[in-house]
């Protein structure tokens, strides 16, 4: 029986003083949502579907991030939201090395607390495209 991939890594690459390629270790969750989709339209006189329609779209990624106390942030998401520069997030499966790169801008960042009372940021990314195994 094949083993199920259970561990992944997230890397960040961006310009400026917060730039360079680095592994992120304070991301609680990372949830991409492909906004492109295929639907089946209906038409008069056609039983069931009349064909397929592909809706174009980018990606939206929702992240929860734990900021560190007394240290420079891994990534300053607030500054990236203000600057509106394109950055790259890369996810990688540790088991088989499958990677996916997301090219995006920070859409918004909100402060908050999780259900255990831990301080965290809710980050939303707007991604224009993605590539597999870059």
Averaged pLDDT, 111-120: 86
Q: E-assigned strands of 2-134? A: 8-14, 20-24, 27-34, 37-39, 53-55, 59-65, 87-93, 99-113, 119-132
Total-model pTM = 0.80
**Residue 102 near residue 71, CB atoms below 8 Å:** no
pLDDT at residue 118, as a whole number: 84
For 7-64, how does the pLDDT look when each residue is reduced to its tens digit (9 = 90+)?
A: 889 999 998 766 678 899 999 999 999 888 898 989 998 888 889 988 888 889 999 9
CA separation for the pair 100, 14 (Å, rounded):
16
Q: Which domains does the chain have, with CATH numbers?
A: 8-132 (4.10.410.40)
């Amino acid at each position: 029986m094949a083993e199920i991939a259970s561990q992944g890594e997230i890397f960040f690459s961006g310009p400026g003083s917060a730039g360079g390629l680095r592994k992120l270790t304070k991301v609680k969750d990372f949830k991409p949502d492909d906004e492109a989709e295929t639907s089946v339209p209906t038409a008069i006189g056609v039983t069931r579907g009349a064909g397929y329609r592909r809706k174009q779209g980018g990606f939206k990624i929702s992240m929860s991030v734990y900021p560190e106390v007394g240290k420079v942030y891994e990534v300053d998401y607030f500054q990236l939201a203000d600057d509106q520069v394109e950055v790259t997030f890369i996810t990688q499966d540790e088991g088989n090395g499958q990677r996916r790169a997301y090219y995006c801008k920070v859409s918004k960042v909100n402060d908050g607390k999780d259900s255990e009372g831990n301080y965290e940021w809710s980050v939303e990314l707007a991604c224009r495209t993605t590539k597999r195994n870059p």
